[in-house]
Structure 1
């Protein structure tokens, strides 16, 4: 009698910062074992992508079993957060409000606090306060307590948080995969054996030469600063103008310092908050960057056909300016690209601190965090591009990329381990 196919269920939110690792893992599982009985549960917006992953796997191996899709009803994580902010902080920007939100703590420094590591002595008291304040908040939060009670009642057994799972011991302890390596993180405390560092998990993407040949040709012409602040960071015209001023200052300085070198160019994916035109003649941003836009050294767009990872893979990116999301951090690390991070909320502050701790880039906004100030951003960008630390930053970024390459693909590592566990269950 043939052995039953291993059965695996993946459950994910729909937001890119959370679902991409699941999409990458789903693909890796299908390619590792075409007979796996793989199920995926999420919100309807992901259904087409799951179908695409199944179709792609079947093109590689016609006997591959398709992924079974399960729709989740109700609000997505992003919708719920936006609704809560609108109710609790009417009239405030999400990026301001999310910075106020207390979050989980870590033993080294309080998670998502923005406190640098190693912690400066003068900030140790503040870190201790944040740590215990966070514990108190978690312990007394009525919303969290209500959710746990609801889940416990629905399941018929006690609900467990992520913290409970990580601290589990003994028989039946679930395996936890973390989307990193010790070399990419802060110094690790002793890690339980059931917590496995898989390495960065990123989706396979279409090469830029296929996705957007014209952009590929443009990128090959000069070293490029790539700006992508994620799906949720949207800039008002005033904020975009401040950003544009910083970019203009940086390019002008580089031109003055290196008049005979290939001029830097910029690819800026700009998500707008409100209605305004960034590229029309006479507009506020156009007036700041007029000569750069007219000479085709500056491209501003709200949409890119090629995936950000494909752009980073070209080898033409001199610096990646991003918001500090896990995907952006990992994608830049995998390709040895230096960072300038503009953290806006929650875990973005953690990844910004990782960048500076490992010496692979700089934080571009401190004075008015999470807002950008032109002279500060320009200074930090020039530090990465043409400062005393530039050679060190490039070298360390390449070293981390080499470590990741040596360790192997994170999605594949998780897929093989999950299949192994599923076959034993």
Structure 2
């Protein structure tokens, strides 16, 4: 009996990120009961995890129960607070001012989230992950990108994986917007500026954005820890900085958001998979707290929940109580059913809301009438409370879970942002017409003079009815096409199927393939000069050859590597006739080429940077010959180049073994124009490794597979059996051992 497909989920334990994983598990257990799910996280999520899985098991009683692998060590938030007890105070800084120290402190704190552990703890966690990986041997992995040890494992072991995030589309695509809009149109994180940024705030927005970015990428602590970990492990680590800030993610990203709920974006990168809000389901209130269910049914309720991390000192709680007093005093019998308050208050310090306290003195009448309930913990899930139908206003901090739970429930919101990444939530609420900002000048604290009027506007004001109607409309948008968690689970299953379809295919041998299906293998040319390559007479290849000839061969006295010239030619760049000048085919500009001929590959990025973010960049950036989506990575370009121009050698000195490249095999199955398997030794991998890869017809373009010879043979057989209606190009993104390559080569030569 074949073993079940295995999925590995790697996540931090903080609910802001982990909730979407728990929601996905709920759906995966129903969609694929035989899927074997393994979850890796820290101890402080265990209680919530088991509760979520128990609830999911009721909906899918025949599903395999997920396996929880508990990591030893401190979680992200535990480490951050242990190192700096005032960490969350720093993260609450608002960046709308000119103080560079505030911006730098917030940026460095953000960098700390990317890599919170010191070197010893990081290595210890990584070693545990290695052991879990060896035990589980997953078919596919889903990763929380803020879990740096997990990301390092995925990259080091070349796992098939995707990133899974509750973030907005804007956060992941703002750098791809045309004409530098990231700086002048979209508010910088933490500023709280309106969208689009008003003209008079544009200079400050640019200043904050650049200052934050520079402080983030130059964080000395992060650099030191990364260096120490590298010295211990022997290889570089991958964090959000390397994988998502300095470059766009190189793997697909499943997002718990959808474009209609975000600031309008001109360009949404192909690597994003927005699924819509992902809300973790839970039992109805009647199952967990029937007393609360009856209490909610008494009247309209304002629900206050500031998340799991925000704690209120007594003076702040008093301000909130005064704001509630202002709202309650405005209620009249003509407004309908009585108004009541459900306040989940997590306290900082020793105080209470009991008789004799400051809070009691402000809300005494309503507390005595049981119309105000203040508790530090509620058994019912926030989503269940919001979906009860009795909540008329959600007061929250704008965190992903709180924001989307209220949106999906169709409840208007008063948002009091407290962290630097939550200041955009009230602006989105205003843009969508579903709420307002409750502390625009007092944030991250709250002041009664601001929160009170905001509550009155949303609950009782002249636009309150309109806001409630709009909230219901937005709730319908949230589930258009299906629940976000269902769509995310289907995306994950799609990736798993793409991975396992080839590796679990019937193992057909050479004898099972018709001998006359393919013509004999031909030898390839060793000529590495693209301008003179002996190619077919196709128009696309000839056009590329002409562009290649037009491009300057050197810059500032240094030769431009042929593979770089090829990359430019195959995407439409061409020379202008003037020395050292290359014109962008999308916008017609002549970007600075300062780094084009730099012999250091890590600095040869400026022109690629322009091309990737050109304001008029074509929506599909694919090779003009085969149509496969391309990557700016130097090794990818080299391998793809060899697939089209056999024998092209690496002139960059990047470590590829120039004289050891095995021949490129070409053949034509069932009348297809051309199928190419390109195999190249790569000295950057372990000795004896070689690279082979994906086909455009059988594996998603963004999938990165560690393929065995058997897996590639199955791909070839599948292409033959399916008739290969389109040209199939196998480009290079995966690792194969040398002995596997010899097996594959014998197979192809036998065909």
Query: TM-score if structure 1 supplies the norm length?
Result: 0.90
Residue pairs, 1:185-224, within 5 angstroms: 185-224=262-301
Q: Given the superposition, is the C-alpha separation of residues 60 and 406 from structure 1 closer, same or farther in structure 2, using an over 3 Å criterion?
A: closer
Q: Does 1:270 align with 2:345?
A: yes
Which of 309, 313, 317 is 2:391 aligned to?
317
Spell out, residue by residue over 1:52-105, the C-alpha distance to the aligned partner (whole angstroms, 9 max, x if none): 45555555555533322222233222122223433xxxxx58335532413597
2:423 alignment partner, SS class: helix
Preserved contact between residue 226 and residue 236 of structure 2 (Cα < 8 Å)? no
RMSD: 2.4
Preserved contact between residue 165 and residue 174 of structure 1 (Cα < 8 Å)? no
Q: Given the superposition, is the C-alpha separation of residues 159 and 137 from structure 1 closer, same or farther in structure 2, using an over 3 Å criterion?
A: same
Preserved contact between residue 338 and residue 394 of structure 1 (Cα < 8 Å)? yes
Aligned-partner Cα distance in 2 for 1:155–1:24: 36
Where does residue 31 of structure 1 map in the other structure? Answer: 30
Residue pairs, 1:4-23, within 5 angstroms: 4-23=3-22
Preserved contact between residue 43 and residue 76 of structure 1 (Cα < 8 Å)? yes
Aligned-partner Cα distance in 2 for 1:330–1:322: 11
What is the Cα deviation at residue 288 of structure 1?
0.7
Aligned-partner Cα distance in 2 for 1:190–1:329: 24
Where does residue 89 of structure 1 map in the other structure? Answer: none
Where does residue 240 of structure 2 map in the other structure? Answer: 161
Aligned-partner Cα distance in 1 for 2:228–2:496: 28
Preserved contact between residue 414 and residue 455 of structure 2 (Cα < 8 Å)? yes
Where does residue 362 of structure 1 map in the other structure? Answer: 436
Q: Does 1:110 align with 2:201?
A: no
Spell out, residue by residue over 1:325-350, the C-alpha distance to the aligned partner (whole angstroms, 9 max, x if none): 10000000001100001111122212
Aligned-partner Cα distance in 2 for 1:378–1:264: 15
What is the Cα deviation at residue 267 of structure 1?
0.7
Q: Does 1:74 align with 2:67?
A: no
Which of 346, 354, 367 is 1:293 aligned to?
367
2:410 alignment partner, SS class: coil
Where does residue 412 of structure 2 map in the other structure? Answer: 338
Aligned-partner Cα distance in 2 for 1:168–1:261: 52
Aligned-partner Cα distance in 2 for 1:341–1:155: 46
Aligned-partner Cα distance in 2 for 1:94–1:168: 27
Preserved contact between residue 251 and residue 264 of structure 1 (Cα < 8 Å)? yes
Spell out, residue by residue over 1:244-292, the C-alpha distance to the aligned partner (whole angstroms, 9 max, x if none): 111011110123xx456322111111111111121x2222111111111
Where does residue 142 of structure 1 map in the other structure? Answer: 220
Higher relative contact order (CA 8 A, sep 6+): 1
Query: TM-score if structure 2 supplies the norm length?
Result: 0.52
Number of aligned residue pairs: give it.
413
Aligned-partner Cα distance in 1 for 2:191–2:219: 19
Where does residue 371 of structure 1 map in the other structure? Answer: 445
Spell out, residue by residue over 1:31-50, the C-alpha distance to the aligned partner (whole angstroms, 9 max, x if none): 21122121111101223444
Displacement over 6 Å in runs of 4+: none
Greater CA deviation, 310-319 or 131-140? 131-140
